[in-house]
Amino acid sequence: MKFVYYSNTDWYLWNFRRSLVLALRNAGHDVLLISPDGPYGEKLRGLGVRWQPVPMERRSLNPLRELALLWYLVRLLRREQPDLVHGFTIKCAVYGALAARLAGVPVRVSAVAGLGYVFISDSFLARSLRPLVRVLLKVALGGRNARLILQNPDDVALFQRAELVDPSRIRLIPGSGVDTIRFAPDPERMPGPRIRVLLAARLLWDKGLAEYVQAARLLHARQVPVELLLAGDPDPGNPAAVPEAEVHGWVNQGLLQWLGHVDDMPALFRSVDIVSLPSYREGLPKSLIEAGACGCALIATQVPGCQDVICHGVDGLLVPPRDGVALADAIERLVQDGQLRARLAVAAREKALALFDERIVIARTLDVYHELLGRPVG
């Protein structure tokens, strides 16, 4: 069979869906990956599948440009005639499903990992776009040969309340899965004189960067022996992007170290003690699961997505969103209580193995394909 995967970045396909792509390839299927052009395209082709850049501008609001993109996708899908199209993130889920309907593709799967800028931000632009996005979602996700995959129960409840899709066509699959063999603890590592804390995320305000910096100021003022790290690239295609100059300002003030893009995330997680994600909302945060699999103590906000990874006091700590003081207090607590830190780290690894191993997620995704296509895929 032939499958088309559509995402808003080639990085997403590489980082979040590589194992699923390989599972399909190894089963003998034809896989076409499409996304805007980027540096991961050749890596994707190196997996033994096809990757094709599409003329998509993530921040575009130009109706003519968006219609041109939709028509491009329709023509591409008519030419390829895939059995199934699977779109990731809201814009690609909507455009991919709409184009698939127009092109006569028999099966459409849409995966929305979190609600994204349009639903999180209180800006005038985001609020003004919501009604249009709701209508497009309802049209794109309709039909008995369509399924919507969501990553946490809060998003399931939200879509049901909004009546965007028939509840019988929603499937809950927790995240994209983690390779728990590659992401594993270093049994020989011992904490250093300064506990190392990491925030690993795209440089977006809604990942809680302002609160992380506020916590850094408070911890330094309290003289807590801690080293704060930030890993991640700027994301200029996102309206919530943090200006790079601002990040350099934090570094120059001695508040944190900015590592930029890191290729070897398992090694980075194994080198730190605590991983924090003070996000405003998530689908199911892969960075937290990867960090937990590596035996890090976790701190995150009590918001959809994060609270589906962490049970407070059992395998991590949860703090209120948009509260840098609470974040600083939680970090200080784990710095001072090594036994608690170690206990949470062990429990986080156990949960990653039990619930979030990529083999579980891949099997459940292939089950959705089987349900729609009427025959086994894997």
Give pLDDT, residue 111. 93
Which residues are within 8 A (CB) of 91 and not within 5 positions of it... i.e. 6 or more apart? 8, 58, 116
| Neighbour tally for 193: CB within 10 Å | 6
- What number of residues does the chain have? 378
Question: For 113-267, where are the E strands, in sequence order?
Answer: 146-150, 170-172, 195-200, 226-231, 257-260
Give pLDDT, residue 278. 98
Long-range contact pairs involving 250-256 (C-beta distance under 8 Å, separation at least 24):
250/213, 250/216, 254/220, 255/213, 255/216, 255/217, 255/220, 255/228, 256/212, 256/213, 256/216, 256/228, 256/229, 256/230
Domains by residue range for the chain, with CATH: 2-177+357-373 (3.40.50.2000), 195-355 (3.40.50.2000)
From the first residue on, what is the mean pLDDT of each consecutive set of 10 residues in the chain (378 residues)? 97 94 97 96 97 88 88 98 95 93 95 70 78 81 91 86 86 93 93 94 96 98 97 88 96 98 96 97 93 98 95 98 98 97 97 95 96 92
Whether 285 contacts 309, CB under 8 Å: yes
In angstroms, rounded to a whole number, what is the distance separating the alpha carbons of residues 240 and 229? 21
Q: Is the dihedral of CA 38, 40, 45, 48 positive or negative?
A: negative
Token pair 């701190």 is found at 299
Axis crossing angle, helix 286-293 with helix 338-355, rounded to the nearest 10? 110
The token duo for 309 is: 């990874």
Q: How many Cα atoms sit within 13 Å of 42 on the Cβ side?
A: 1
